[in-house]
Structure 1
């Protein structure tokens, strides 16, 4: 499990493989604190560490990604040098600063509008139609691994207000119109919708 609070902004240093793609990621983590087999969220997608090593003041680690994950997320479009939001798995007893996030991407959204309002950035995202019913004003959503509060919703889009700190320490500040982002809807909203299907008429 994760919280949607990004702990580092990494960089893709190498890509290899065809059917199963291998990505090597540079990050400011201490390599000794990362176990082989550990789960790390990459732009909201939970991936397993299969190799690692020290690199400068931080580390590098490798993950392997299946064709289905490449197809259903933005990971298939990654290129060497791209930045990526990283979050290490939540440990028992740690502060839950965002909301409960599984690291299972529900769909890919498209940024359809960006407005700079003073120090804030307002992003308008169009989600896949099947996710609309899980997105509510003032509810939570994970965008490229970042836990955010939905500012407003329409029939086919939702707005997010990005504070300067979030824009600086994640990849969201650099997003431009037409960009695609990984979305994970709020787990509680998903269960509430599922329960309502079985409520008595």
Structure 2
């Protein structure tokens, strides 16, 4: 489990094809001082996707990514140098500064616009239609692993019904990959766990 509070901004150092090219191994540069001591098998959220550490060094770690994950997240679009939002797994007793995030990406969204709004930036995104009903104004959502509050949602039945907006403060833009997002770029979306279970309960007789 994670909180959606990014603790480091890394980048893709190397991509190695695995399984005849269907899978891949990501080597990710990480600025944590104890990166070389991260236990093998530890979980790290990489731009919202929970990956398992299979190797590590003084300033890097590696994780294997399956074809299934590549097909359902933005990871298959990464290249050497791509920024990666990093968060270590939550431990009992840690401060829960964001919201509970599983690291299981629900779908890929599209960045629609970025515009200054007072002292922050207003980002608008488009969701896959199947996920739009889980997003509520003032609810929580994880975008590329960042815990955010939804500030607006599209009106059902309108052309923007699958869209939503969030505000990003300058600090968040500086310490995460949000500083490099431009319209047209894809992002990993994880809906709020509570919304998922409420919808499941409502669907059962």
TM-score category, normalised to shorter length? over 0.9
RMSD: 0.9
By how many angstroms is 1:32 displaced? 4.2
SS of residue paired to 2:150 = strand
- 1:127 partnered with 2:133: no
By how many angstroms is 1:11 displaced? 1.1
Structure 2 CA distance, aligned partners of 1:158 and 1:140? 12
- Given the two structures, how large is their TM-score scaled by the length of structure 1? 0.95
| Residue in 2 that maps onto 1:22 | 25
| Residue in 1 that maps onto 2:157 | none
By how many angstroms is 1:49 displaced? 0.3
Q: Is the 8 A contact 2:36 2:60 kept in 1?
A: no
| Residue in 2 that maps onto 1:180 | 186
- 1:44 partnered with 2:48: yes
What pairs with 1:82-97 in structure 2 (closer than 5 Å)?
A: 82-97=82-97
Mind listing any 5+ residue stretches in structure 1 that lack a counterpart?
none
What pairs with 1:66-77 in structure 2 (closer than 5 Å)?
A: 66-77=66-77
SS of residue paired to 2:174 = helix
SS of residue paired to 2:71 = helix
CA deviation vs aligned residue, 1:75-109 (integer Å, no higher than 9, x gap):
00000011100000000111111000000000000
Q: Is the 8 A contact 2:120 2:167 kept in 1?
A: yes
Mind listing any 5+ residue stretches in structure 2 that lack a counterpart?
155-160
By how many angstroms is 1:19 displaced? 1.8
By how many angstroms is 1:120 displaced? 0.7
| Residue in 2 that maps onto 1:12 | 12
Structure 2 CA distance, aligned partners of 1:22 and 1:48? 11
Structure 1 CA distance, aligned partners of 2:148 and 2:37? 28
| Residue in 2 that maps onto 1:102 | 102
- Given the two structures, how large is their TM-score scaled by the length of structure 2? 0.93
Range 27-36 or range 140-149, more displaced: 27-36
Structure 2 CA distance, aligned partners of 1:12 and 1:173? 16
Q: Is the 8 A contact 2:9 2:30 kept in 1?
A: yes
| Residue in 2 that maps onto 1:191 | 197
Length, aligned pairs only:
195
By how many angstroms is 1:196 displaced? 1.2
SS of residue paired to 1:134 = coil
SS of residue paired to 2:151 = strand
Range 173-182 or range 109-118, more displaced: 109-118
